[in-house]
């Protein structure tokens, strides 16, 4: 397997791990009866799963080996309502670095098709870091009255993500 295909297979594992982490965060909020926060992270979990499956589809299309990975257990207990959003923001920043490294690997290998495939993920990371950072501001400011966060999410969610229209195809179809 080439260096780029190998690195992209590793990224599939990171995307599935991100999905599992978001499920764990959603369940934490669901357990606290914070349905908007729970719904937000259940939806994020599906998006991360779709990212993994877009990469799987790319590897299939490129006739590269695809290995569906085991995933490390996520963190599932948290000190307070702010901690999961901080963890999520840290995770999104880490993924941005990972995708950037993947672009550099594709470029090093002269794999322009692979490099172009990743541009959508760079845009997606810019959006996800920005929206998670905004959510962290709101949760931090409202930590003593979390219902304000619920109201914020009820107002802000439901808007279409314009990036979805240009998303790469996902193996088996995006959920
Ligand atoms: Fe992702
Ligand atoms: Fe993400």
pLDDT bucket at 162, cuts 50 / 70 / 90: confident
Q: How much is the average pLDDT of 19-42?
A: 98
**Ligand 1 centre and the CA of 73: distance in Å?**
17
Angle between helices 112-141 and 83-108 (to 10 degrees): 170
Residues 123-152: tens digit of each pLDDT: 999 999 999 999 999 999 999 999 999 999
Q: Is the pLDDT of residue 86 over 80?
A: yes
Ligand nearest to the CA of 98: 1
User: Residue 68: exposed, middle, or buried by beta-carbon count in 10 A (0-12, 13-18, 19+)?
Assistant: exposed
- The number of the ligand nearest the C-alpha atom of 43 reads 2
Matching residue, tokens 């930590």: 143
Residue pair 12/56 in contact (Cβ under 8 Å)? The answer is yes
For the CA of 128, the nearest ligand: 2
For residue 1, the model assigns a pLDDT of: 81
Contacts from 145-149 at CB under 8 Å and sequence distance 24+? Answer: 146/34, 146/37, 146/81, 149/34, 149/36, 149/37, 149/81
Mean pLDDT over the full length of the chain: 96
Helices (H) and strands (E) in the chain, counts: 5, 0
Angle ∠(23,27,32) on CA atoms, nearest 5 = 150
Q: Which of 38-47, 85-94, 120-129, 149-158 has the least mean pLDDT?
A: 149-158
Which ligand ends up closest to the CA of 22?
2
Tokens of 121: 């993920």
How does residue 84 score in pLDDT terms, banded at 50, 70 and 90? very high
Cβ partners under 8 Å of residue 31, min gap 6: none
Q: What is the rounded CA–CA span in Å between residue 42 and residue 107?
A: 34
Quick one: pLDDT band at residue 165, thresholds 50, 70, 90? confident
In angstroms, rounded to a whole number, what is the distance separating the alpha carbons of residues 154 and 175? 22
Is there a contact between 25 and 84 (Cβ–Cβ < 8 Å)?
Answer: yes
Closest ligand, as measured to the CA of 131:
2
- pLDDT confidence of 27, banded at 50, 70, 90? very high
Rounded to the nearest whole angstrom, what is the distance from the C-alpha of residue 12 to the centroid of ligand 1?
9
Measured in Å, residue 158 CA sits from the centre of ligand 1 at 19
Distance 23 CA to ligand 2 centre (A): 13
Residues, CB within 5 angstroms of ligand 2 (ion): 128
CB atoms within 10 A of CB 31: 9
Ligand nearest to the backbone CA of 44:
2
Task: Evaluate if pTM is beyond 0.75.
Answer: yes
Two tokens at 125? 């990371």
Ligand 2 centroid to Cα of residue 142, in Å, is 24
């Amino acid at each position: 397997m080439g260096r780029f295909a190998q690195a992209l297979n590793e990224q599939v594992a990171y995307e599935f791990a991100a999905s599992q982490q978001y499920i764990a965060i959603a369940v934490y909020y669901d357990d606290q009866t914070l349905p908007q926060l729970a719904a937000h992270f259940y939806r994020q979990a599906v998006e991360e799963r779709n990212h993994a499956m877009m990469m799987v589809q790319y590897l299939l299309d490129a006739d590269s080996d695809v290995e569906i990975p085991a995933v490390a257990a996520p963190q599932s207990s948290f000190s307070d309502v702010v901690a999961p959003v901080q963890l999520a923001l840290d995770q999104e920043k880490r993924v941005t670095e990972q995708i950037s490294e993947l672009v550099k690997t594709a470029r090093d290998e002269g794999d322009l098709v692979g490099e172009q495939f990743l541009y959508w993920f760079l845009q997606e990371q810019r959006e996800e870091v920005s929206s998670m950072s905004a959510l962290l501001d709101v949760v931090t400011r409202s930590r003593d009255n979390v219902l304000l966060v619920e109201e914020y999410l009820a107002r802000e969610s439901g808007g279409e993500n314009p990036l979805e229209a240009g998303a790469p195809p996902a193996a088996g179809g995006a959920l």
